[in-house]
Amino acid sequence: EPEVTQTPSHQVTQMGQEVILRCVPISNHLYFYWYRQILGQKVEFLVSFYNNEISEKSEIFDDQFSVERPDGSNFTLKIRSTKLEDSAMYFCASSEGGSVGWGELFFGEGSRLTVL
Amino acid sequence: SQKIEQNSEALNIQEGKTATLTCNYTNYSPAYLQWYRQDPGRGPVFLLLIRENEKEKRKERLKVTFDTTLKQSLFHITASQPADSATYLCALVASYNTDKLIFGTGTRLQVFP
Kindly list the residues from chain B whose CB atom is less than 8 angstroms away from the CB atom of residue A45.
100-102
Give the closest of A44, A91, A100 to B93, CB-based: A100
Q: What is the pLDDT along chain B (113 residues), one digit of tens a residue?
A: 889 999 888 999 999 999 999 999 999 988 889 999 999 999 999 999 999 899 999 999 999 999 999 999 999 999 999 999 999 999 998 888 888 899 999 999 999 99
* Residue-level pLDDT at A104: 86
Below-50 pLDDT ranges, chain A: none
* Residue-level pLDDT at B7: 87
Q: Which segments of chain A are extended strands (E)?
A: 5-7, 10-13, 19-24, 31-37, 43-50, 53-57, 65-68, 75-79, 88-95, 106-107, 111-115
* Residue-level pLDDT at A98: 58
CATH code assigned to A5-115: 2.60.40.10
What letter does residue A104 receive in the DSSP assignment? P
What's the domain count of chain B? 1
What CATH number corresponds to the domain at position B65?
2.60.40.10
Closest CA to B28 of B106, B108, B98, B105: B98
* Residue-level pLDDT at A43: 97
* Residue B91, strand partner residues: B34, B103
* Residue-level pLDDT at B16: 97
List A residues 58-77 in contact with B (Cβ-Cβ < 8 A). Answer: 58
Residue A56 and residue B100: Cβ atoms within 8 Å?
yes
Residue A89 in contact with residue A34, Cβ under 8 Å?
no
Q: Where are the domains of chain A?
A: 5-115
Residue A48 and residue B99: Cβ atoms within 8 Å?
yes
